[in-house]
Amino acid sequence: MKNRVFTENDITICQGSCRRGVSSETAVVNSNVRRFASEQFTVFRCDNCRSIVAADPADLEHYYKHYPYEEQKPSAAWSLICRNYLLRLKTAGLKREHSIVDYGCGSGMLISQLKKRGFKNARGFDVYNDKYSDRGVLDHKYDCVILQDVIEHSENPGDILETAIELISDSGFLCIGTPNADRIDLGSPQKNIHCLHQPYHRHIFTAACLTKLAEQKGLTLERFYDRHHSDTFWPYLNMRFYHYYCGLFDDTLDVAFDEHPFGLHYISPKALWLAFFGRFLPSPTEMVLIFRK
């Protein structure tokens, strides 16, 4: 964990109006979802705010049908990853009696884990999942609001942020997990295929831009983590290994949900090295920010 204050005062925040300028960096990248892996999408880096933005509209309803994460099943690995997530929330002050909302909770995997660990006041909301689509959940205030892998999926991330802020109680906090555009090199789009995650990721912030936007909306950055919670010290559970492993197959995120025999590629020296020591290398691209009102 690192506390960090961003001081880039000259950042312009586009508030969802990023435009592809003459000198913008652009890249073309394949989807990292197997069903759409032959399709290519253009992304660009905004000249003003340095965000990475999907260049063209996409029929997202079509792409979210059969989204691999919706078919994710609980596992021992997932339980360990959630434990790592919960440690961060506890460091931010989360107690068992606190109320929690996971906004954009998908199939509710994190909520289930939190409840299992005694956090009975954990609720989820996801407009795309019937089980969690009750808008009544949004009529309350919460001690902890989670926006994990959500804000980058929106064409209007500022609106999502405002909705999340409305949900925070006076003493509560907001935890945002999202890719970090600072860390994505558009000169090597295929190497960044998983964080670009086209066409699903519509707007990827830099750390400074997201922080400044949140500050403009009245929040204060309390903690900054430059790693995803699935980047753990447990063997095989780190992002470096995960990306390398996917690349041994078809480099789609579906690989993580496939049944794989324990083949030679799996125990290659590099795979083994990354399985055990990948966590000690710089994180690929993810960040987690904790804000208070």
Interacting residues toward Zn ion by CB under 5 A: 14, 18, 46, 48-49, 51
What minimum distance in Å lies between the beta carbon of 48 and Zn ion? 4
Q: For the beta carbon of residue 22, count every other beta carbon within 10 angstroms.
A: 5
At residue 140, what is the residue type?
H
Query: Which residues lie closer than 8 Å to 46 by C-beta, 6 or more apart?
Result: 14, 18, 19, 20, 21, 24, 52, 53
What minimum distance in Å lies between the beta carbon of 193 and Zn ion? 22
The nearer residue to Zn ion, 18 or 147, going by C-beta atoms, is 18
Distance of alpha carbon 245 from alpha carbon 275, whole angstroms: 9
Cα end-to-end distance, the chain, whole Å: 21
Pairing of strands 168-179, 142-148: parallel
Give yes or no for a contact between 288 and 147, defined as CB atoms under 8 angstroms apart. Answer: no
DSSP character for 56? S
Q: How far is CA 21 from the centre of its chain?
A: 26
The nearer residue to Zn ion, 11 or 248, going by C-beta atoms, is 11
Give yes or no for a contact between 32 and 193, defined as CB atoms under 8 angstroms apart. Answer: yes
Q: Which two tokens stand for residue 80?
A: 């360990």
What minimum distance in Å lies between the beta carbon of 20 and Zn ion? 10
The nearer residue to Zn ion, 210 or 253, going by C-beta atoms, is 210
Give yes or no for a contact between 262 and 73, defined as CB atoms under 8 angstroms apart. Answer: no
The nearer residue to Zn ion, 42 or 169, going by C-beta atoms, is 42
What minimum distance in Å lies between the beta carbon of 44 and Zn ion? 10
What minimum distance in Å lies between the beta carbon of 203 and Zn ion? 9
The nearer residue to Zn ion, 13 or 289, going by C-beta atoms, is 13
What minimum distance in Å lies between the beta carbon of 83 and Zn ion? 36
Task: Provide the 3-class DSSP secondary structure of residue 289.
Answer: strand
CA 251 vs CA 152, 185, 243, 247: distances in Å = 21, 18, 8, 4
What minimum distance in Å lies between the beta carbon of 46 and Zn ion? 3
The nearer residue to Zn ion, 14 or 237, going by C-beta atoms, is 14
The nearer residue to Zn ion, 46 or 94, going by C-beta atoms, is 46
